Structure 1
């Protein structure tokens, strides 16, 4: 199969979808890999690294899309790429269709095959291609939240871990999945007073068993969240419904319960955000203020640490990319029901129920 690796062009997206070692694996299996010039440079990989692995370097993104049968990306195509996606072309990347009708309609129009990382499942029912970036985003959410609590950044001027004789900041984590767990552990490691919420009692019991003593668990309800907000300095939104839009757990009226200079970090922004007042931001302009509350809603948080993120992502995606290249998407999906769940749009038709439901469409 002819595989194409375009350079990511979303704002401050520094990751690349395939490492030179992953390229070598595909080439050794008889596939042809085309990499756009400087696609890997921000992740620490030069064109020469890819050439040594057996890839061919192409000068432009148009050349890559025009040549490849399968495009492997990190983030969804942006508007300037819509017209490059061809009928029958397999695009393997994070899509998050449910919160972007324009993207969804563009991919329907292209009649391509859209395989979404975020809805592929493994034999245990986990999301293996979402987990590594969720781990990165969960840990980074606390780093960024701590930064924007600083007074020069518009925050309260609170140190997350406090100091002897001064109480630490209070952190509320909404969601006990991979993002929330990593956020809670990171915040706890910095010495914060952490509360993690979830609607699953079995999950709360699991968290209670291994979390440090400065992490408390709380059942997630509107009442309980409202009770916490008055004394919370940093909220991490870490809710996920696979392939579907995130629910709004904090409404605009609830912001009035918080003290000015508090920070909300919405890691669920790729799926529409779990705060009513959230809208996507970029690493160039990561925050905005609503009712005195700082909102951090960067849609590609792991893009800020591409050297780590690219390696973690390729570790997870490569086995699936190899399967798709070896067998073609149809046969690969016949043999792997979990990979089949990654199909969101096929030849102009939405095939993933949660995407259709998000826009009130019928499959």
Structure 2
């Protein structure tokens, strides 16, 4: 994924945990916590990471560089207990580290949310100090439980704290890889529960509006952010059979225009899609121009309502559903509904209500 090379890189929580664990082992053997340690990131890059000595173990402050990471500034602590004889390294989650509760993630339910790559990094770092000895490493993150509320963890069924993540050991500003990974993991939890249908919303407001509109209460909704195309592709790849996509016209009109990344720097076409359908049904040229010159989607919605053109939303829902269905070459049919932020359905594709009825049965 592209990122801005002029911005400063950071280190992942996995790198922080590996450095903290190595320092904790050195303190255990030598009585002194080092001021810094070197660890190997996946790919062989050597990272020199500053370490703090605390009463609760050796710790590393997460530095996300110039990336807007929710975990930036958190202290990642490690405590190490040696087994004396040769054996495995086991992992425990202390304060602020989440616990996996749902199947479908990379870690089994009941385990601390320390992902496989960070576990491998921690193991390698510890082995460089303790050799083949068995050991138990406990990772803690003071403040992690509160921070986790601003991450994907609540949606992934990871409770009680953050996850220790990282596939490269490095945080690259504007890198979308971690977002995509979280979206795939969330879809995996639904697939692992045996679900074959899924509902997709763009964000928190959209999810709340969809749940209100269709009286959906179960765990069956995925938030895609700007990445509707990626979520549809992954859902099809994971074997979902149908999807219901709901959203405010400000987002969904972009999909109707063929934009599957709805970030404002990537694509738009909202007014073009709306104006095209208005012209097709015979709206006067002056009205089409007025719609085209709207500064906001909300203003365009008001003009549509004031001029008795509400049927456009049903037409646009059909168009949106077809575009999304065509993306998977028909393998995963998609229904679509245009909904305002208050949960009012403006227009829906032909089978949207029937699919919503099935979604209402999911606990």
Per the normalisation by structure 2, the TM-score is 0.31
The structure showing larger relative contact order (alpha-carbon pairs under 8 Å, at least 6 residues apart) is 1
Per the normalisation by structure 1, the TM-score is 0.31
